[in-house]
Chain A
Amino acid sequence: MSGRAEVWLFIAQRASAFVLAPLVIVHLATMIYAIQGGLSAEEILARTQGSGVWGAIYGLFVLAAAIHAPIGVRSIVREMTPWRGRSLDLAAVLFGVLIVVLGVKAVGALV
């Protein structure tokens, strides 16, 4: 992989991390708040359905995670297993796509 591409991956991972940070805080906060006194499907859906804000938040979350996680996993695999090269890069991309697909479905259902 060229030097430039490697730097772009680094930028993408750090930028997505930067985006994820506030989203995770929001997510953690609502989770801690939401489970007070147990929770049901209705309650969750009542909060999220029809809300553009929640849709945007979780949409962005999924997107950022889909960029962030595969890059991280790729470097873990490269360092800790003998797997490297094109096939690994492709697998990482597929992993990202998987997150997007699952994420879009989940967010779609919630909103």
Chain B
Amino acid sequence: MTEHSITRHQTDILILGSGGAGLFAALHAHKADPDLDITVAVKGLLGKCGCTRMVQGGYNVAIGTGDSVERHFMDTIEGGKWLNNQDLAWTLINTAIERIHELENELGCFFDRNQDGSIHLKAFAGQTYDRTVHKGDLTGIEIINRLAEQVWARRINRLEEHRAVALVPASDGSRISGVLLIDVRDGSFHFVQAKAVLLAAGGGPTMYRYHTPSGDKTCDGMAMALRAGLTLRDMEMIQFHPTGLIAGRETRITGTIIEEGLRGAGGHLLNGEHERFMEKYDSRGERATRDIVSRAMFEEMRQGRTGPNDGLFITMRHLDHDLVRRQFKGMVERCADCGFDLVDGLVEVVPTAHYIMGGVEYDTSCRTSILGLYAAGEDTGGVHGANRLGGNGVANSTVFGGIAGDAMSPWVNAEGTFAEPDQSVIDATLERTLHPFGKPQGNLLDMRERLEDIMWDDVGIIRDPERLNRARQSLADLEAELNETGVAASDRAFNLTWHDWLNLDSLILVSKSITEAALARENSRGAHYREDFPEEGDLETSYFTTARLSDGKIDVGTSPVEFTRVRPGESLIREESAVA
């Protein structure tokens, strides 16, 4: 059994992922007790993968004069169509204020200023106040660079290019024991035994034909959570960004974001016949909210009025060229690098899957239902409800990452122990992950594209039972096919094709939970739109969906939303007249 040999490590706290959630957790856990042995394991290089780095718009926080926690909270709840876990949202909004100061004063993020030197707050769609802190339109680079530097400078262990493949419970099932990982560089297996584990692998809806997240994100965290028996909530809630670049399937640039500000600045959306169409759908035209624009575009595409790559167009050519060039420098350059002229041409665009609102159920201390296992960031669900406000994503990951770090250290010191792992889980994971080496090679790219088509066409922006049921079947077929598809056994070191296989494995499982949750929600809220149930349903009796894996099948259920702080129809904002 030499090929199954597993290297064992021990660490007090193991953190999976190095986005805003993972790195903040590491820093806070270290600050709480510098003597603890802390390890960050990440699929790519520390700080260079994941989506926190890709944040463009910025970070929502209620610090402007006239703004308030209550106002930000109400925007979040209303944006989330009353499905949010209100305690989580409340924690987010309060702690964001502390976190943004910490980012600026302690970690060194250098956010943009007003002329007088005070912090600049910009507007973000769907919000009643300008409350978005930013660094140009590359806020994420600033945040992650500063976090990564601080982590490098501390005695925090790094397991870079180590991919987690299973959350391993203790042999008696009482708590977490550790995590099984693959060292991407040499293909070897590692079991890291830990007293506490943080799941912060960042979700990411990369099972859709067009998607924005970085290539390393393939819902591994959510898949591991399902396999470990955790419950995911709100999985039908997939946010689409209206304008992703489309340049053909063969280029990785397809799906990446074209800035929303372009529409705000007067950019026009055109269909394949070069006609504007948004007015047909909404009086605000191109300036309507993300979900409305995405749906209108999807409809237009379904009617077949598309461009050469089956997308639509955005154009700025009717605007002052110099202004566009100046105001959207980064975007203009990025388009030019891929051969598009944003200033004077048409750029083909398509709605693109951006964010998963759903995720692991957890509490305001980031605890999950497994003792010692914590979760934070985009892997979790409940904060955003049915829709995430732009700017609440990075706030979410940094706020709860920090909270998880604060919680884990004292807990490890008080109650943490190294538990013996459940060997059957390790064996089953080895079996599953090594499985493709025993099978005839197949075309994984083709399978990935088929998955993306299934999800885009049948579990996409506009849903109906017929398509969802078809998707259910197609996903089952695809899963069966994957299990018969192999990878060349030549060399496991840095074997991307093996990881492509594992990516598909995670994506299919999580896609199934999205499909089942979408079938279960028989109304249209936020990001979820059912053609057969276009109404939002009774707010008072709002429920959220839950999904669990049992005996290889996704079990969905629903739970009533608890309005712990505010009920539909009410508001926490007192001076109502002040709202613009």
CB–CB under 8 A between A and B in the complex?
A: no
